[in-house]
């Protein structure tokens, strides 16, 4: 009994020095040669297990989503009393959305403003990310979202540069993962299936898929589904069903008026312009950001270089993917 208690103490002492002080197994065994045979396999197992446990990391997407919800809840609680004034008997979903908007854009404006310049190692950085998520949630068109992601991508590169100067490789990696996510989103959102400059498809692609895909399930319904339910039947299905028997009326119903055609044409033109502008922005960003990160590689501390190299790779492949999706030939 006493012997086993003694061994438990020795094992824990070794583990403590291995896990927290970076000692090696050999060093532990040298300290306790009498127990070396028994200790060695257990320390090997513990070390291998600990290594794997440390590798269990939440995904960046989940991390951002969780932060967003946590900070929303934090701010919502803070303003609970004042919000009671606005209890108009709405659905809780809508109330939450409105509360978040109020909190982030009005009541919590000072915090959000203070957070806007924060960097990944700053305590207010999650507020910055949460504010961005709200902006994205309230941007309904695919193109609009792609434009916003392009702006955010630029911010992430600024942050990577800052983190490189502070020699924080872990933050560089995390931020590069976010950059990768954004550039992938731009590629998806600006793909031809997602954003078609044609007239007939315009309303559908503008409003439905991007918002649904973009938002977490908890966030999505209030924003995304309400307009969908209202618009889909009213614009397309109802007239078709009602007027189907009258053969001569059908073609009239399907032909848009001259004014409508002109309006749709203008909208399509505007969208083409915006796509071209987005393409130009991304081209500039691709060049400038990659060049900038490459330049940093020369001056960055050695320990930050591997993470920086990954970020350069993300920037190169990500922008290429996004530009390809916009129809830009390599």
Partner 1 sequence: MQDEESLVQRAKQRDQEAFAKLYEEYFDRIYRYIALKIGDKVEAEDMTQQVFLNALQSISSFKWKGIPFSAWLYRIAHNQVVDHLRKTKKRVAVPIDESRASSDSNPQLMAEQSLDIEQLLSATQRLTEAQRQVISLRFAGELSIAQVAKIMGKSQGAVKALQHSAIVALRKTLLAGTDEEVQRI
Residues in touch with partner 1 (CB under 8 A)? 4-5, 7-9, 11-12, 15-16, 19, 40-42, 44-46, 48-59, 62-63, 65-67, 69-71, 73-75, 77-78, 111, 123-124, 126-127
SS (H, E, C) the chain: CHHHHHHHHHHHHHHHHHHHHCCCHHHHHHHCHHHHHHHHHHHHHHHHHHHHHHHCCCCHHHHHHHHHHHHHHHHHHHCHHHHHHHCCCCCHHHHHHHHHHHHHHHHCHHHHHHHHCCCCCCCCHHHHHHHHHHHHHCCCCHHHHHHHHHHHHHHHHHHHHHHHHCCCHHHHHHHHHHHHHHHHHHHHHCCCCCCCCCCCCHHHHHHCHHHHHHCCCCCHHHHHHHHHHHHHHHHHHHHHHHHCCCCCHHHHHHCCCHHHHHHHHHHHHHHHHHHHHHHHHHHHHHHHHHHHHHHHHHHCCHHHHHHHHHHHHHHHHHHHHHHHHCCCCC
Q: How far is the CB of 122 from partner 1 (least distance, A)?
A: 9
Shorter beta-carbon distance to partner 1: residue 10 or 199: 10
Q: How far is the CB of 19 from partner 1 (least distance, A)?
A: 8
Q: How far is the CB of 102 from partner 1 (least distance, A)?
A: 16
Determine how many CB atoms are found less than 10 A away from the CB of residue 153.
26
Shorter beta-carbon distance to partner 1: residue 166 or 287: 166
Shorter beta-carbon distance to partner 1: residue 44 or 260: 44
Shorter beta-carbon distance to partner 1: residue 10 or 204: 10
Q: How far is the CB of 301 from partner 1 (least distance, A)?
A: 23
Q: How far is the CB of 12 from partner 1 (least distance, A)?
A: 5
Q: How far is the CB of 323 from partner 1 (least distance, A)?
A: 33
Shorter beta-carbon distance to partner 1: residue 55 or 258: 55
Shorter beta-carbon distance to partner 1: residue 53 or 247: 53
Q: How far is the CB of 32 from partner 1 (least distance, A)?
A: 14
Shorter beta-carbon distance to partner 1: residue 22 or 41: 41
């Amino acid at each position: 009994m006493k012997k086993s208690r003694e061994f438990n103490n020795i094992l824990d002492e070794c583990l403590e020095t291995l896990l927290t002080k970076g000692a090696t197994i050999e060093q532990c065994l040298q300290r306790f040669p009498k127990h070396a045979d028994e200790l060695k396999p257990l320390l090997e197992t513990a070390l291998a297990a600990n290594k794997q446990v440390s590798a269990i990391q939440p995904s960046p997407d989940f991390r951002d989503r969780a932060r967003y919800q946590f900070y929303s809840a934090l701010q919502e609680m803070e303003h609970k009393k004042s919000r009671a004034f606005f209890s108009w008997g709405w659905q809780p979903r809508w109330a939450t959305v409105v509360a978040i908007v109020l909190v982030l854009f009005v009541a919590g404006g000072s915090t959000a403003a203070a957070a806007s310049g924060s960097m990944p190692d700053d305590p207010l950085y999650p507020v910055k990310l949460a504010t961005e998520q709200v902006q994205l949630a309230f941007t309904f068109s695919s193109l609009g979202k792609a434009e916003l992601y392009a702006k955010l991508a630029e911010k992430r590169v600024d942050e990577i540069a800052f983190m490189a100067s502070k020699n924080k490789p872990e933050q560089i990696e995390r931020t590069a993962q976010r950059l990768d996510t954004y550039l992938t989103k731009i590629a998806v959102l600006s793909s031809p299936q997602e954003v078609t400059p044609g007239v007939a498809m315009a309303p559908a692609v503008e409003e439905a898929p991007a918002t649904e895909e973009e938002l977490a399930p908890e966030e999505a319904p209030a924003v995304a589904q309400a307009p969908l339910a209202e618009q889909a039947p009213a614009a397309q299905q109802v007239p078709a069903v009602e007027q189907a028997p009258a053969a001569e009326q059908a073609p009239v119903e399907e032909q848009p008026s001259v004014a409508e055609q002109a309006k749709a044409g203008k909208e399509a033109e505007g969208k083409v312009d915006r796509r071209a502008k987005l393409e130009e922005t991304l081209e500039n960003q691709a060049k400038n950001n990659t060049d900038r990160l490459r330049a940093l590689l020369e001056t960055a501390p050695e320990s930050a270089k591997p993470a920086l190299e990954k970020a350069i790779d993300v920037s190169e492949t990500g922008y290429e993917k996004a530009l390809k999706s916009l129809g830009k030939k390599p």
